[in-house]
Amino acid sequence: MKATTFPFNPTPFLMPKVEIILTSNIVGLGAESDHVKVNPGYARNYLFPQGLAIPLTGANKKRLEALRRRRAEREAHELNTMMELAKGISKLVLIISVKTGDDGKMFGSVTAGTIADELKHQFDIALDKRKIHLENPIRGLGDHEVELRLHGEVKATLKVTVNSTTPPPAPPVPTPESAERGERGEGRRDRGDRKPRGEKTDKPDKKERAPKSA
């Protein structure tokens, strides 16, 4: 008896996505009250147990108004928080120390990640490095202004000063020979200030006497 064979299907079996209602803000997916479609396993194993979403059912649709109010309150709070943070950051000066060569050029560069780390270290400000906008990494010493995109409606400017931790090169130590040459040069300059021996100074003639008054 021959075994029954089935044609091979290279396309894997895909479970249809399920519709859910988000109850929390999830970056890259949506915010409270949004209807989204996700994989069943993602909803069943993560979103539902964590309380981040609920199934889209007739009963749960009644919760949409409460979720919208919660979302509006959260977004208003985030906006106010970012506006206050922008005011504070505009008054700060972030000091970043780097190593440089003898020519003053930096080793490496200052990136958005570097700035985020130093903000946390120096001012205890936790900021996602993706909110720090740098067209190019900072590669020079001195003062720089960095744009921070804190919110869709809030931007701030952070002053960043990059200093070198490398001490400047020491001045050359004079050798005995150079010191002796310097002393000889000083001596020649001193003698050059003297008047020639043959030059006479203008002195009044002793033989000339002033006429007596009548």
| Cα–Cα dist 116/94, whole Å | 10
pLDDT in tens, 162-194: 999 887 666 666 666 665 666 665 555 555 555
- Are 36 and 30 a contacting pair, CB within 8 Å? yes
**Helix residue ranges per DSSP H, the chain:** 40-42, 58-61, 64-89, 112-123, 176-193
Decide: 115 and 132 in contact? Cβ < 8 Å: yes
Low-confidence ranges of the chain (pLDDT < 50): 1, 3-6, 8, 213-214
Q: Is the four-CA dihedral 77, 80, 86, 88 of positive or negative sign?
A: negative
DSSP annotation of 106 reads B
Other C-beta atoms lying within 10 Å of the C-beta of residue 57: 11
pTM, two decimals, is 0.59
Give the pLDDT of residue 149. Answer: 95
Task: Report the b/e string of 79-96 with b at 16+ CB within 10 A.
Answer: eeebeebbeebeeeebeb
Q: Domains in the chain, please, with CATH?
A: 18-62 (3.40.5.10), 86-164 (3.10.430.100)
The DSSP symbol for 30 reads B
Look at residue 6 in the predicted model and tell me its pLDDT.
43
Among candidates 45, 46, 40, which has minimal Cα distance to 26?
46
Instruction: Identify whether the C-beta of residue 52 lies closer than 8 Å to the C-beta of residue 44.
Output: no
Residues 33-49 pLDDT 10s = 999 999 999 999 999 99
